[in-house]
Structures are given as C-alpha cells and as structure tokens.
Amino acid sequence: MQRVVRWLAMALPPLLFIVGVVVLWELWVREREVADYLVPRPSAVWEVLEGDPGRYAIAAQESLTAALGGLMVASLSAFALAVLMAHSRLLERALYPTALMIKVMPVVAVYPLFAIWFGFGIWPKVAIVALITFFPMLVNALIGLRSVDPATLDFMRSMHSSRWDLLWCLRLPSSLPYVFAALRISVPLSLIGAVVAEFLSGSSGMGQLILIANGDFDTPALFGAIVVLAFLGVALTAIVAAVEHRLLFWHESTLEV
C-alpha cells in the first residue's frame, strides 16, 4: 500500500503535466483551426498511430534492433578496452588520442564509407550507433576502474591478490556506478544514431518512416513517429534506471533522501 502511494506520488505529477499539455494543445488547435499539416491535433496523431500500428511497430523494431545491437557491441568492446587501458598507462597514452579523434568525427560524414563496407542492411546502422556510443563508455569505464577506494586496494594488495582478483572483486564493482552513468548517456544516443543512419540510408526503420511522412507533408504521421521514438527512449532509460537501482543498492547515488 505504502509503495503504491509512493509510486503514485512519483508518477502522477509528470503524467498530469503531459495530459494537461496534450489537452490544451488539442483545444488550441481546434479553437484556432490550425491546419493539420502545420500543427496536427493530438487526436489526429492518435488516429494515424491507431490506423496502422503494424507499420510503426515494424519500423520501431528495426530501429531498436540497430540501436541495441550497436550499443551492445560498443559497450562491451569499450569496457574491454577500458580494462586493458586501466592496467597500462602506455596503452592508454597510445590509444586515447585515436579514441578522441573518432569521438569528435561527425558520424554523418562516415556513413557513406560504412554503406560501402557494410551494404544497406542493418550493419551500417549498427556501426554508426556503435561509433557514437563507444566513447562515453570508454571514458566512464576507465575512470570507474581506476576510482578504487585506496584503503580497500591496500587491503587487497596486502593479501597478495592477483590482478584477476583485483579486477573481479574490486575494480569491476567499483566501476559499476560509472558504467551506468555512461549508459544513461549512450542509451538515448543509440536511438539518435539509429535514426540518423536511417535518414541517410532511407531503407528502413523510424528514420525512413519520418522521411516518407515528411515527403508526403503528412505531419500527423511525422508526429506519430516522434511520439513512438520518445516512448522508446523513455522505456529504455527506465529499464537502465531499474537495473541500476537493483545493482547499485550500495552506492550513494541510490540512497533515498
């Protein structure tokens, strides 16, 4: 009971705000008789979504697959590289500038290259997503693996811990708060990456759906795509937050004040 009350207290204000905005919007558009191709009524957007949910579901699934695939490839490889770099300053010095260069490179510029290499299927999209989500994980994981409590490290070393023990028992758990900070950045980035890649290829997913709606001046359909993307972003972020809360119960960031 108390949990339900607390949950309502958390969820109700933002929900009420959104509902309020949508209602005011609907009333304003009706009152002023604004054309649907300029600012569509929320109800018109809903009609589009409801009229062909399959189209949106398939597009969303295509985008989501690319986003999560790229995110996974990038996060795992970035974390593995961070582990190596955390153990070798030489490796860090050697690789960091290159990683930084890749980070500041505009992904849009690389897409044609990826299209040549990976064709027009899902792989160039995965590559684009991986490219933009790699760096946040690398930087955060590296800091996390190094930000170990010195007193705990002294204890572990006085016990003749192997590098593996230090990594598995100390560095890895210590890095988790930073890993989740990285995910909070890279999860939304992964959706952006997928949609941008779809804009460029125009072959599938939410990006293609938006391109087509735009070409048809079908603004309600455009808004429908935006709503779906917003929903996907919120859902993914909520999942990350839930897992974080579960795993980081011991960390200050999850303390309930």
Partner 1 sequence: MVNESGPARAGRIATYNDPASTARSRRATCAESDAAAPVSTDTAVDRDSAGGSAIELRGLAHDYSTDSGVVRAIDTVDLDVAPGEFVSIIGPSGCGKTTMLRAVAGLLEPSFGSLSVLGGSPREAQRDHAIGLVTQEPGLMPWLTVAENVRMSLKLAGRPDAVDDWLRRVGLDRFAGLYPRELSGGMKQRAALARALAHAPRLLLMDEPFGALDELSREALRMELLKIWERERSSVLFVTHSIREALLLSDRVVVMSGSPGRILKDLAVPFARPRSDALFVDGEFLALEERIRVLLRTAN
Contact residues for partner 1, defined by CB under 8 A: 87, 146, 148-163, 165-166, 169-170, 173, 249-252, 255
Residue 255 Cβ vs partner 1, minimum distance, rounded to whole Å: 8
249 by DSSP, 3-state: which?
A: coil
Smaller CB separation from partner 1, 9 or 159: 159
Smaller CB separation from partner 1, 42 or 173: 173
Residue 175 Cβ vs partner 1, minimum distance, rounded to whole Å: 12
CB atoms within 10 A of CB 246: 9
Smaller CB separation from partner 1, 28 or 155: 155
162 by DSSP, 3-state: which?
A: coil
d(CA 31, CA 141): 53
Under a CB-based contact definition with an 8 Å cutoff, are residues 127 and 114 in contact?
yes
SS3 labels along 6-31: HHHHHHHHHHHHHHHHHHHHHHHHHH
Residue 256 Cβ vs partner 1, minimum distance, rounded to whole Å: 12
Dihedral (Cα; 132, 137, 142, 144), 10-degree rounding: 150
Smaller CB separation from partner 1, 62 or 244: 244
Residue 181 Cβ vs partner 1, minimum distance, rounded to whole Å: 17
